[in-house]
Structure 1
Amino acid sequence: MSKKKRMNRELYEAELLRLQAELVEMQEWVKATGQRIVVVFEGRDAAGKGGAIKRITEYLNPRVARIVALPAPTERERTQWYFQRYIEHLPAAGEIRLFDRSWYNRAGVERVMGYCTTEEHRRFLRQCPIFERMLIEDGILLRKYWFSVSDKEQEKRFRSRLTDPMRRWKLSPTDLESLTRWEEYSRAKDEMFVHTDIEEARWNVVESEDKRKARINMIHHLLSSIPYQHVERPELRLPERPPSTGYRRTDRALQFEVPDHAATLTEDAAPEKYVDVEDEG
């Protein structure tokens, strides 16, 4: 079987920019209509969730579209109702929330790594569909994406991160252990889908062997699933600057200025351009 060719970079960048312009249109519709959107990103480690989120938010207003990436729960949070720590991060009117991993941690890493009990896992599978139906009934537009990657591609990305100083921070002992628990994670994911792939909030699977294609496909699907419309914005005009009232700038000698490091740089001494190996394949 021949290896699939990765998406052409120029085509990818052109289509990505077009989709990002549409995301800005969607954002304006969300603000104008008071809609609330929740997008859940789940999947294997190194499957490309973070890269997709980065491209989605690149041109959006961070006060409207916020990323929710929660750390491990505190001792107090472990005693709360499981969904409680996520509820405070849900959007108000005119807001979008992008969950970089979510309440589904319980069905994945917590289940496989033994961070929760069997009873807590079973309770999650019973309560999750109820919880999500409550969100939808209250008017939240909920979208769930599972980024799927093969074991070989995941290992390849892990190996590149071991030597890539720009991505080394993405690796943790738990990430590396997922290599040895591939089938356990697969069984946990299958069981999660059985209980939580409900009609009101289906799981949308994103094939992410090629990160460029994955981002394009995921963003296009998200946009096609939201009934946004173009919102006319008020015309803005720059006002005339009023005449001076005699203000004089403080003497620069009295201020502590950042040194002009840029002036010391030369093209000959420029460092080699960073290449994202995972994107390049």
Structure 2
Amino acid sequence: MDIVLRNNLILITTGFETLNTSWMKEFLNHHTRGMLFLPKAVLVFRNASLQKMREEFLKELSCHYAKTHDFNHEFFLRSMLKFDTQPIKIELDKMLEPESVKVKLYAYDKDTVLISLDQPNSWVLNYMRSQLEVYVERGTDVSLVVDVSDLKAKARLERTLNKRHILHYQIQYMYDNHFMSKLYCDFANFSFGDLAKADELAEKKEFYTILECPVGASQDALKKSYKKLTKVYHPDKIIHEAPHMLSHYTHKFQLLQEAYQALRIVS
């Protein structure tokens, strides 16, 4: 294990064995809402309500690090505690052979989706929770039941399923032929007689989806969501922590601008 204190984060480079220690998993399990999952790492942002847990985690981390490098940990702990507000990046020291994880998707109806794993995998499930938590109705250590009754929730589910690489896990999504038809049955009776109008409607729906707003949302709602998302996806937010994600954030930022310009009403 190596720990580097940078100006903008605490960088921990370690093996998968340390990632699976009880004190590490407990810390990460409580911070799922403030985590960014990367192909080889997780980025944990500060949560003020979990400050005491963060301090306990840094204490455990310092003790573990001191034992493996044979030095007194107290001075190093004081140094880490000075990085009170900075994110913690936990990165694998080597890329393991990708391990395939099968995730089954089942739509009870257009409003409810079951996500299940054949066997417990806290990393994959924590990723799902981090993306879908506000929509999760209930869950176990191998499953989540998600409410996707509005367009915003469906858009969030689609984005979640687009990511297939978590740490060294390669996710394989499995679903039957009825999954999509159940999930999008609202569109079954849509008439495409007027193709021009249909194309225009589809494009507008896509813009609303990008802005994470329901179709027909008010101008105030669009503006509020636009401002919130552009702060989250501004390229400057990621350029130092994860430069390889820069193109993704830049593309997302451009899509947000395009969608807002298309839907806003200029008085």
Give the TM-score, by structure 1 length.
0.22
Q: Which is strand-richer, 1 or 2? A: 2
Which has the greater radius of gyration?
A: 1
Task: Return the TM-score normalized by structure 2.
Answer: 0.23
